[in-house]
A = this chain, B = another copy of it.
Amino acid sequence: MAATGNSVLTAELRLDVQEFYFRYAECLDGGRLQQWPEFFLDSCVYRVTMRRSLRRGPDEDLTFMNSKTAMLDRIVAIGRSEDYEPHAQRHYVSNFRVQAASDEELRVQANFQVLRTFPERRTEFFVSGYYSDRIALMDGRLNFREKLCVLDSDVPPDSLVYPI
Contacts and interface: CB of A to CB of B under 8 A. Distances in A.
Contact of A1 (B38, B51, B96, B97): B38
B14 A88 contact: no
A69 interface: no
A113 B92 contact: yes
A39 B128 CA distance: 25
Interface string A1-36: 111110000111111101111111110010000000
Contact of A123 (B39, B96, B127): B127
A163 interface: no
A102 interface: no
Interface string A104-134: 0000010101010101111101011110000
A161 interface: no
Could you say which interface size class chain A belongs to? 35 or more
A91 interface: yes
Given A113-B92, A154-B119, A140 B3 contact: yes
24 contacts: A1-B38, A1-B142, A1-B143, A2-B141, A3-B13, A3-B20, A3-B140, A5-B140, A11-B15, A22-B95, A29-B111, A90-B128, A92-B92, A92-B111, A113-B115, A115-B128, A117-B153, A121-B153, A121-B154, A122-B153, A123-B127, A123-B128, A123-B153, A125-B125
